[in-house]
């Protein structure tokens, strides 16, 4: 790669994202020994086509006119036109990996078929095994021809010549991650079902079809087939599900190494119990992306329920690294369905296991004991985790701890009033390295732990080797800043005190500066995340967009407190600077989301991205309530995108429905945004009142769905908290009284004067 100023292409940290573009023009391997007109013609042809197409046209697979300084398409769409030097011909590493994966898959299939045949012979002894052999032979012949061509004479009995037969296909490691954006690129990998009679097929295709339906639950207990019994889908479907997990989830939850995981699941060795539990977690989480016509809604629900139950039971009975890893993957499924009590309970188990397994510290010494002498008392926690047997295992534990940290941050910030379950002061871990170094098992350093703690009790870390960091590392960093923002906004503040407001402003500025410094620390073009989609298409990777959404969440969480306060005084008034920071962050998220949508990549982002969209949409409503203007039309875009993401993560659907109801109420004139915000503020304060004595009366206040929607939308922006707010109880009803003149919910009567004055910004920017 010759040009040092070119936009950097993503490395192996972002899996399956290599782009192989085929240029038009002559082959570089032409014979150069010819003379005469033919040779001169070829020389002119090479000179004519010496210049390559621009990167955008190569990614779009269209002809480029190679104009300077920008081709016509890039100039017309105002995109950065980048020409890279033509690469020398050589071996296609991606193609080699793809062939290797196909060979491994065929080997795994043969192992499964052989074990099935052995089981069948051992159980049935005779005639039935002879009946089975032709089916095995036919099926194996079809499966082994993995290059898209059906072997002659191998069509299963009962299937007509005109019936299309889908062939298995290993995942294309060399294909860009955005290819097949509908999430169905691996969905045509299913093996044909072997029918015992015309119009009648067995329940499960692939290798499972060789077990008669009456014996599905009568498999020998020693069998190690992936799809033994009905607790897991067929083997070929399992392969697709694991592949989909690494495409849709592991990019932004990078706790597994792809090569190692595929070797465990589809290698020649047998699966043990912990491997099957991890597989169950992947199945439960990734079924949402599988679009296989053989899988009915009932069977999909069955597999999901069975896999989830097995993981939960195993995790409750075993405290181990393997169980923790499976539980983290299952937490993605739960938190992607609903940010409610079930997800919080699962997180509490994860956090407690992190403490129990001592994962939040960089341990140097491990105790080992004979299994027969393992104690059953409290000292067992000191020997339950063995010393890591490799660097990749050590780094895997580090990533596991940081992933629990991230999940805890997103779930807690969504509730606004909860405290973090995994405190920052407990996180005595250095940052994880980039994914390519992790997957290559290359021992590297990213930094060191600080010996001194800050005023918030956080040990923290120092980044000594930024070149070893990746998107996951930066994600952990920005959520560390977001944690400080959350703790800062939880503390009550007296908005009438000049001294308190001065302290508040200094802390606010330091957190704002920390976010700016983090943004500047990103490598090269990634520091301008909002321009990422407009530069190099090979860098369109889901985890970097997840990273940008985390940054938007942090910016809005911090600056909305100063831009849209629910109460104010002569000192604490809405800040024009803070308001512009919020609106700019929302606009940048909107622009990137538009490009991700056009590239069919919304199925690659996870629930944290949906949470950022939810925050951005609510910010537009709060802005309309404060300024007293109609809501920005961008709200419709965010609602539509949330609905699209909701195809895969149900929590996004919940967000979209709440926003749609709130916007519809305002547009139909039922209530203004300002009135909704005031109602939500009063209801939240009402429920925060506490009794002073045990015999004080309690009361109940009925609320409607509209009231709950208002709380969901506006409570995130309910700031500042007033200390020692007076309360009283009259006739069984608890009332909250605000200091006179401090309530500031926005005014529908002052549409022109509600916006803050940029010339008199009290923050001093």
Tens-place pLDDT, residues 136-152: 333 333 332 332 333 33
pLDDT of residue 726: 45
- Would residue 185 count as lying in a domain? no
pLDDT of residue 649: 96
Whether the pLDDT of residue 655 is over 60: the answer is yes
User: Whose CA is closest to 23, among 85, 69, 81?
Assistant: 85
Whether the pLDDT of residue 725 is over 90: the answer is no
- Would residue 765 count as lying in a domain? no
Q: Does one domain contain both 416 and 526?
A: no
pLDDT (mean) for 304-308: 95
pLDDT of residue 271: 85
pLDDT of residue 283: 96
Quick count: other Cβ atoms within 10 Å of Cβ 20?
A: 13
Q: Across the chain, what does the average pLDDT equal?
A: 74
Whether the pLDDT of residue 365 is over 70: the answer is yes
- The strand pairing partners of 567, in sequence order, are 743
pLDDT of residue 496: 87
pLDDT of residue 729: 39
pLDDT digits over 588-606, tens only?
999 989 988 888 888 999 9
Q: Does one domain contain both 551 and 667?
A: yes
pTM greater than the 0.75 cutoff? no
Whether the pLDDT of residue 299 is over 50: the answer is yes
- Would residue 93 count as lying in a domain? no
Q: Are 282 and 241 in contact (CB under 8 A)?
A: yes
Whether the pLDDT of residue 62 is over 70: the answer is yes
Nearest-angstrom CA–CA distance, 664 and 658: 10
Q: Does one domain contain both 400 and 520?
A: no
pLDDT digits over 439-487, tens only?
888 899 998 887 665 555 555 788 888 889 999 999 999 999 999 999 9
Q: Name, in order, each residue with C-beta under 8 angstroms of 726's C-beta and a sequence gap of 6 or more.
A: 736, 737
Domain count across the chain: 2
Whether the pLDDT of residue 659 is over 90: the answer is yes
Q: Which of 75-79, 355-359, 459-463 has the highest mean pLDDT?
A: 355-359
Question: Does 57 sit behind a cis peptide bond, omega within 30 degrees of 0 on the bond before it?
Answer: no
Q: Which of 176-180, 216-220, 370-374, 514-518 has the highest mean pLDDT?
A: 514-518
- Would residue 47 count as lying in a domain? no
Three-state secondary structure string covering 91-119: CCHHHHHHHHHHHHHHHHHHHHHHHHHHH
pLDDT band at 731 (very low <50, low <70, confident <90, very high): very low
Nearest-angstrom CA–CA distance, 658 and 19: 40
pLDDT digits over 477-513, tens only?
999 999 999 999 999 888 888 999 999 999 999 999 9
pLDDT of residue 374: 61
- Would residue 622 count as lying in a domain? yes
More confident residue, 399 or 11: 399
Nearest-angstrom CA–CA distance, 618 and 714: 7
pLDDT digits over 398-422, tens only?
999 999 999 999 999 988 778 899 9
pLDDT band at 112 (very low <50, low <70, confident <90, very high): confident
pLDDT of residue 469: 92
- Would residue 559 count as lying in a domain? yes
Q: Are 511 and 481 in contact (CB under 8 A)?
A: yes
pLDDT digits over 168-210, tens only?
333 332 333 333 333 333 333 333 333 333 333 322 333 333 3
**Hey, CA dihedral for 468, 470, 474, 475, is it positive or negative?**
negative
pLDDT digits over 235-273, tens only?
889 999 999 999 999 999 999 999 999 999 988 778 889
User: Whose CA is closest to 610, among 581, 644, 576?
Assistant: 644
Nearest-angstrom CA–CA distance, 461 and 463: 7
Q: Name, in order, each residue with C-beta under 8 angstroms of 166's C-beta and a sequence gap of 6 or more.
A: 188, 189, 190, 191, 192
Q: Does one domain contain both 410 and 538?
A: no
pLDDT of residue 27: 31
pLDDT of residue 361: 86
Q: Does one domain contain both 411 and 522?
A: no
pLDDT of residue 161: 35
pLDDT band at 225 (very low <50, low <70, confident <90, very high): very low
Q: Does one domain contain both 567 and 708?
A: yes
Q: Does one domain contain both 623 and 529?
A: yes
Whether the pLDDT of residue 539 is over 80: the answer is no
pLDDT band at 690 (very low <50, low <70, confident <90, very high): confident
Whether the pLDDT of residue 102 is over 60: the answer is yes
pLDDT of residue 57: 86
Whether the pLDDT of residue 23 is over 70: the answer is no
pLDDT band at 85 (very low <50, low <70, confident <90, very high): confident
Nearest-angstrom CA–CA distance, 75 and 85: 20
Q: Does one domain contain both 296 and 416?
A: yes
Whether the pLDDT of residue 220 is over 60: the answer is no
Q: Does one domain contain both 421 and 280?
A: yes
pLDDT (mean) for 317-332: 94
More confident residue, 86 or 631: 631
Q: Does one domain contain both 419 and 321?
A: yes
pLDDT band at 108 (very low <50, low <70, confident <90, very high): confident
Q: Which of the residue ranges 305-314, 605-614, 738-747 would you say has the lowest mean pLDDT?
A: 738-747
Residue 721, token pair as written in the block: 């908290």
Q: Does one domain contain both 581 and 719?
A: yes
What CA dihedral angle connects 85, 91, 94 and 97, to 10 degrees?
Answer: -160
More confident residue, 606 or 22: 606
- Would residue 58 count as lying in a domain? no
Quick count: other Cβ atoms within 10 Å of Cβ 451?
A: 7
Domain that residue 354 falls in: 231-364+387-427
- Would residue 664 count as lying in a domain? yes
Q: Which of 79-83, 207-211, 291-295, 654-658 has the highest mean pLDDT?
A: 654-658
């Amino acid at each position: 790669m010759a040009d040092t100023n070119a936009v950097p292409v993503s490395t192996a940290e972002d899996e399956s994202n290599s782009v192989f573009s085929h240029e038009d023009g002559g082959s570089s391997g032409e014979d150069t020994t010819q003379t005469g007109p033919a040779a001169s013609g070829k020389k002119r042809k090479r000179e004519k086509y010496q210049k390559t197409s621009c990167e955008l046209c190569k990614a779009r697979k269209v002809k480029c006119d190679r104009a300077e300084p920008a081709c016509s398409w890039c100039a017309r769409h105002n995109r950065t036109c980048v020409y890279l030097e033509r690469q020398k011909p050589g071996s296609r590493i991606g193609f080699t990996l793809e062939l290797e994966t196909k060979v491994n898959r065929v080997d795994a299939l043969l192992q499964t078929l052989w074990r099935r045949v052995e089981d069948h012979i051992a159980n049935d002894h005779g005639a039935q095994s002879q009946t089975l052999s032709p089916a095995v032979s036919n099926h194996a012949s079809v499966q082994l021809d993995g290059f898209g061509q059906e072997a002659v004479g191998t069509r299963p009995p009962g299937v007509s010549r005109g019936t299309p037969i889908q062939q298995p296909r290993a995942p294309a490691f060399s294909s860009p991650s955005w290819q097949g954006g509908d999430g169905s690129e691996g969905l045509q990998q299913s093996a044909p079902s072997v029918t015992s009679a015309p119009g009648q097929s067995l329940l499960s295709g692939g290798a499972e079809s060789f077990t008669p339906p009456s014996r599905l639950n009568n498999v020998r207990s020693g069998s190690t087939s992936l799809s033994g019994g009905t607790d897991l889908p067929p083997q070929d479907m399992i392969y697709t599900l694991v592949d989909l997990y690494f495409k849709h989830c592991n990019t932004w939850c990078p706790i597994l190494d792809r090569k190692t995981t595929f070797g465990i699941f589809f290698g020649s060795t047998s699966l043990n119990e912990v491997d099957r539990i991890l597989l169950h977690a992947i199945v439960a989480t990734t079924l949402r992306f599988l679009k296989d016509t053989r899988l009915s809604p009932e069977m999909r629900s069955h597999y999901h329920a069975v896999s989830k139950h097995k993981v939960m039971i195993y995790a409750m009975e075993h405290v181990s690294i393997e169980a923790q890893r499976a539980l983290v993957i299952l937490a993605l499924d739960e938190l992607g369905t609903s940010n409610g009590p079930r997800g919080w309970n699962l997180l509490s188990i994860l956090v407690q296991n992190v403490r129990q397994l001592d994962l939040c510290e960089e341990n140097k010494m491990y105790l080992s004991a004979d299994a027969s002498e393992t104690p059953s008392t409290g000292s067992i926690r000191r020997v339950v985790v063995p010393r890591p047997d490799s660097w990749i295992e050590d780094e895997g534990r580090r990533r596991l701890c940081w992933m629990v940290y991230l999940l805890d941050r997103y779930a807690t910030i969504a509730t606004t009033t909860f405290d973090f379950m995994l405190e920052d002061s407990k996180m005595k871990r250095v940052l994880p390295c980039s994914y390519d170094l992790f997957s290559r098992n290359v021992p590297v350093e990213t930094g060191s732990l600080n010996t001194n703690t800050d005023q918030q009790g956080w040990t923290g870390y120092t980044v000594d080797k930024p070149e070893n960091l990746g998107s996951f590392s930066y994600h952990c960093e920005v959520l560390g800043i977001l944690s400080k923002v959350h703790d800062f906004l939880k503390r009550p503040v007296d908005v009438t005190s000049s001294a308190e407001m001065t302290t508040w402003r200094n802390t606010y500025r330091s957190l704002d500066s920390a976010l700016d410094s983090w943004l500047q620390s990103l490598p090269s073009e990634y520091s301008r995340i909002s321009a990422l989609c407009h530069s190099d298409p090979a860098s369109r990777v889901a985890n970097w967009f997840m990273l940008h959404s985390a940054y938007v969440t942090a910016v809005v969480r911090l600056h909305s407190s100063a831009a849209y306060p629910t109460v104010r005084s002569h000192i604490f008034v809405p800040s024009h600077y803070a308001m512009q920071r919020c609106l700019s962050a929302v606009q940048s998220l909107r622009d990137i989301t538009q490009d991700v949508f056009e590239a069919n990549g919304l199925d690659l982002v996870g629930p944290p991205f949906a949470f950022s969209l939810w925050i951005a949409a609510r910010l537009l409503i709060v802005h309309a309530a404060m300024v007293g203007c109609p809501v920005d039309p961008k709200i419709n875009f965010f609602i539509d995108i949330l609905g699209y993401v909701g195809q895969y993560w149900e929590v996004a659907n919940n967000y979209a429905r709440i926003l749609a109801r709130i916007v519809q109420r305002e547009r139909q004139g039922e209530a203004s945004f300002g009135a909704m915000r005031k109602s939500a503020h009063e209801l939240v304060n009402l429920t925060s009142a506490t009794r002073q004595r045990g015999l004080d009366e309690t009361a109940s206040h009925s609320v409607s769905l509209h009231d709950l929607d208002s709380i969901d939308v506006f409570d995130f922006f309910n700031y500042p908290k007033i200390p020692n707010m007076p309360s009283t109880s009259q006739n069984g009803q608890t009332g909250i009284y605000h200091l006179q003149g401090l309530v500031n919910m926005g005014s529908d009567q002052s549409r022109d004067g509600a916006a803050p004055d940029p010339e008199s910004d009290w923050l001093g920017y």
